Structure 1
Amino acid sequence: MENLDKLILELCKLPQETGWVEFKHNNCDPKMVGEDISALANSAVIADRSHAYMIWGVDDKTHEPVGTKVRLKQEKKGNQELENWLRYMLSKNADFEIHSADIDGKHVEMLVISKAMGVPVTFEKIDYIRVGSYTKKIIEFPTLQAQLWDKLRHEQFEDIYALSDIQLEEIPHYLNCEVYFDILNMPHPTSIEKYAHYLMEEGIIAKQDNGLYAITNLGAILFAKKLSDFPRVGRKAIRIVQYEGNNRLSILKEENTTEGYAISFENAVKFVTTLLPTKEDIDSVRRKTINAFPIPAIREAIANSLIHQDFFLTGTGPLIEIFENRVEITNPGTPLVDIMRIVDNPPKSRNEKLASLMRRLSMCEELGRGWDRMVISCELQKLPAPRIQIYQESTKVSLFSHLNFTNIPMEDKIWATYLHACVKFIEGNALTNSSLRERFGVAESSSGSISRLIKEALNKQIIRPVDSTTAPRYMRYIPIWA
């Protein structure tokens, strides 16, 4: 571990032992060490620390290095090496590293303990916590237990370090810091220290316990000059594939973005737009080219795939596939809201910090408007409604080019009817035979087909009449949940 002596000296400056740092002289009782690892890992979560530390060779009162006889790599429990015994007795989510250093000629041993992830770290199936300078069973402190579980449930991918132990001056090598200030129309700071102030406030970088810096996943995923520099997010680059025809038999073009989303998002949208089929508007006085797909819907679908993806699913990232008759946008992870309420419900994101910063950077719409815009833009062009499909570990949104009403599959017609009812309700109105005819762009002579479609939607119990006693020709409908 680089700069270990610097880290130890920084920790020695603490006025007292904390829930995430413990100093010892020569006491290396195996059971005590195991309980302390559990306690420190759990306390690090409560203290919002990525690591906790157990240090031998530092006086626990004065915090002066005094040296130690302990050699953790050589210590044993019975005939078994201490490290192996600890790993066996601790829960599977326990993670620690053994390090040693000489400080002013005095030997110091250290355990660097990662904070608990997912569930508390246990020793001999019991979870511990630090209370002041003491290690206690967490069951004895229900308030701390509740705090710990609350923190574990709300663990954010964005806060985890993507790259650590770097000098402040190295950050511009990895991050395009200027983009942040350019997009927000802010003047560029005059020094790296002033850059660091803003970046730390946003959670893009963090200062570590050893005085060095770390780039968070949030910073890497948005501002990386090369995503491949960050192992955790390298596979989260946007991939764009264009196929010939309507199947995946032949690839025409393929592009993989290499930069963070704040840099590559607009370029990805523009690249996709250039690949979309277009048609000429023959009814226009002046010749005008119309995209076969609504650009606002494309943009929102791409932004949603970035914001709502599950970053903990490794080996896969956002994928945009362009066919002659459709665009499919797939992201790892499943929605956190019921797709039947995806238009009206306030959206939930597993990446709230990413979503918030992307909105401030004008990369996506205000909270809750994304799906509204997608649905309305498709309706304005008389296109089939966006289709959403949920798989075991991914979500796919499909946007379709023009289809005659008679050629749209019944399932898609019913889904479009439901979404039309949702949009109308949000606007303070209701679905009617007339509004649905206009939505699909069919003539009044097709009112019988529209009536049958409404009946199908009623049978599916996804819409209901506003007033069931109204005459059929004046009937108005709203979503079933309204």
Structure 2
Amino acid sequence: MTTSRPLALVNDLLALPGEQSWLEFKGNNTNPQMIGERISALSNAARLADKNHAYMLWGVQDGDHAVIGTGFQPSSERVQSQPLEFWLSQRLSPDVAFSFHEIVHPDGRVLLLEIPAATVAPVEFDRTAYIRIGSATPRLSDYPDRMRALWAKLQPYVWETGIAAQYVTSDEVLARLDYTSFFELTQQPLPDNRNGIFDRLQAEKLVIADVGGRWNITNLGAILFAKNLDEFDTRLSRKGVRFVAYDGNNRAANVVRRQDGKRGYASGFKGLIEYISALLPENEHIGQAFRTETVVFPPIAIRELIANALIHQDMTIQGTGPLIELFKDRMEITNPGEPLVSPDRFIDAPPRSRNEAMAALMRRMRICEEQGTGIDKVVAAAELYQLPPPDFQADNNATRAVLLAPRRFADMTTDERIRACQQHAVLKFVSGEVMRNSTLRERFGIEPQNAAQVSQVIRAALDRNLIRPADPERPKAGYVPVWA
């Protein structure tokens, strides 16, 4: 039975003024070679036209788009003793997930071939790439300008542009997405009509128009503004932020709190931070003139590390999402995917994100800091609170940031002291300064009479080739990272 969306799609295609580079009408021409070449040509043309799919329709006259019906049954066609679809798939490269759909149109039977646009390389049939130009289907290599333009548009799959919910009504969109949160966070007035709301949601690629006057919610729209991620399939619902608190220092301890996030990252971010902050114990922080009670972990460090985990995760890894774990002596924030930048260069290296659209929108909403400053602020906050240095790890296809609870210099491990020294040198360097014994003493909260303790840490960092003298002729003039 024909479902409503394919029929609506066919009606929208028939309503176009004529064939497009990504759309072709056929009567009953079912030549297998022709179909293979058209799949290549239409797929490549769709990418050039910024379309997600291309289409062929059998049972339609080219001129007036009248439905004349077709008896073409691809499932029963065989070529060289092979099923037609298998024969085509064997000759297409890269693999193209094309699909045939039988449409029971009121005016006759129509067959729809849906062809995904090229993604990583031009689609070839029998080792030749084709392109659609007018009604012709020449070899792509004969048109080098078009080939260059196609390569410029090809890129790896961008998760944010994927479809989270397809062919939904405008009412369903507004019921599933916290659109008022979007306007509040982007500091835009809420439009007084539905068209205005959808114009903005579409401009931000949170939704895209589907056929038949309906809409698709993108992965970007769902992951940022879903009212309940469980209303989407498990590819998305499993990416909700999970929080677990233990009553000890390891995962064998009893779980005292567990929260599985259901809201989108943007609309739920403030509530998540408030929930975690309310659970944190307080610690006495000694300022220049007075003592104050503050939370164990600097709020800006928690905020930035959680935002980074959301932005930089590998969304293509299924069945897992960001995880925040609170132990008695530390907080661990883990996201799926190896980091794109080496952990020891998180402070100074230009940031790289797998999810650029999500990162850009979250920065506009001030959920995270300006590009490239978040980790700097995390490390600087740890120094201000005189905490052990944060630890950034790449482990088992995941990235983990560890915030350690307050500990005196005497109680820090050798590795922690050396890591703090290296991070301090990097912070000074990116600020146009150099690390000195006196600045590192201040970072650790060590009195001048105990400067020898800091000198030992500096020597150990030099021995591990993490820092070097800023001026080899004057070794006591200060230190910089070894790569500086």
Q: Secondary structure at the match of 1:135?
A: coil
| % same residue | 40
Please say if residues 277 and 324 of structure 1, whose CA atoms lie closer than 8 Å, have aligned partners that are also in contact.
Answer: no
For residues 286 and 339 of structure 1, the distance between their equivalents in structure 2, rounded to whole angstroms, comes to 36
Aligned to 2:257, which of 253, 256, 261?
253
Please say if residues 329 and 398 of structure 1, whose CA atoms lie closer than 8 Å, have aligned partners that are also in contact.
Answer: yes
Q: Secondary structure at the match of 2:383?
A: helix
Q: Secondary structure at the match of 1:304?
A: helix
Q: Secondary structure at the match of 2:363?
A: helix
TM-score (norm 1): 0.93
1:375 matched to 2:382? The reply is no
Q: Secondary structure at the match of 2:238?
A: helix
* Most deviating of 82-91 and 201-210: 82-91
For residues 14 and 168 of structure 2, the distance between their equivalents in structure 1, rounded to whole angstroms, comes to 21
Matches within 5 A, 1:102-251: 102-231=104-233, 232-249=235-252, 250-251=254-255
For residues 289 and 471 of structure 2, the distance between their equivalents in structure 1, rounded to whole angstroms, comes to 44
TM-score (norm 2): 0.92
Please say if residues 169 and 192 of structure 1, whose CA atoms lie closer than 8 Å, have aligned partners that are also in contact.
Answer: no
Taking a change above 3 Å as real, the CA distance of residues 93 and 416 of structure 1, as seen in their structure-2 partners, is farther
Q: Secondary structure at the match of 1:376?
A: helix
Matches within 5 A, 1:308-387: 308-387=312-391
For residues 144 and 255 of structure 2, the distance between their equivalents in structure 1, rounded to whole angstroms, comes to 58
* Most deviating of 301-310 and 157-166: 157-166
Deviations 1:169-202 (A, max 9, x none): 3211211111111223333222222210000000
Please say if residues 11 and 209 of structure 1, whose CA atoms lie closer than 8 Å, have aligned partners that are also in contact.
Answer: no
Q: CA deviation at 1:428?
A: 1.8
Deviations 1:6-62 (A, max 9, x none): 212211233332232111111111122122223323332332222211111222233
Taking a change above 3 Å as real, the CA distance of residues 196 and 145 of structure 1, as seen in their structure-2 partners, is same
Please say if residues 93 and 117 of structure 1, whose CA atoms lie closer than 8 Å, have aligned partners that are also in contact.
Answer: no
Deviations 1:319-343 (A, max 9, x none): 0011111111000112222333322
Q: Secondary structure at the match of 2:424?
A: helix
* Most deviating of 324-333 and 272-281: 272-281
* Most deviating of 317-326 and 226-235: 226-235
For residues 364 and 271 of structure 2, the distance between their equivalents in structure 1, rounded to whole angstroms, comes to 18
Q: Secondary structure at the match of 1:382?
A: coil
For residues 11 and 120 of structure 2, the distance between their equivalents in structure 1, rounded to whole angstroms, comes to 31
Q: CA deviation at 1:117?
A: 4.1
- Gap regions ≥5 residues in structure 1: none
Taking a change above 3 Å as real, the CA distance of residues 103 and 364 of structure 1, as seen in their structure-2 partners, is same
Q: CA deviation at 1:142?
A: 4.2
Taking a change above 3 Å as real, the CA distance of residues 134 and 408 of structure 1, as seen in their structure-2 partners, is farther
Aligned to 1:395: 399
Aligned to 2:276: 272
Deviations 1:128-171 (A, max 9, x none): 43344333444444444444444333532111111111122321
* Most deviating of 445-454 and 318-327: 445-454
For residues 123 and 303 of structure 1, the distance between their equivalents in structure 2, rounded to whole angstroms, comes to 44
1:408 matched to 2:415? The reply is no
How many residue pairs match? The answer is: 480
For residues 136 and 214 of structure 2, the distance between their equivalents in structure 1, rounded to whole angstroms, comes to 29
Please say if residues 225 and 265 of structure 2, whose CA atoms lie closer than 8 Å, have aligned partners that are also in contact.
Answer: yes
Runs (4 or more) in structure 1 with deviation over 6 Å come to: 282-287
1:298 matched to 2:310? The reply is no
For residues 426 and 113 of structure 1, the distance between their equivalents in structure 2, rounded to whole angstroms, comes to 50
1:446 matched to 2:446? The reply is no
Aligned to 2:463: 459
Deviations 1:336-356 (A, max 9, x none): 223333222321111111011
Q: Secondary structure at the match of 2:18?
A: coil
Please say if residues 167 and 211 of structure 2, whose CA atoms lie closer than 8 Å, have aligned partners that are also in contact.
Answer: no
Q: Please report the RMSD computed on the Cα atoms of aligned residues, expressed in angstroms.
A: 2.3
Q: CA deviation at 1:119?
A: 4.4
Q: Secondary structure at the match of 1:236?
A: coil
Please say if residues 343 and 393 of structure 2, whose CA atoms lie closer than 8 Å, have aligned partners that are also in contact.
Answer: no
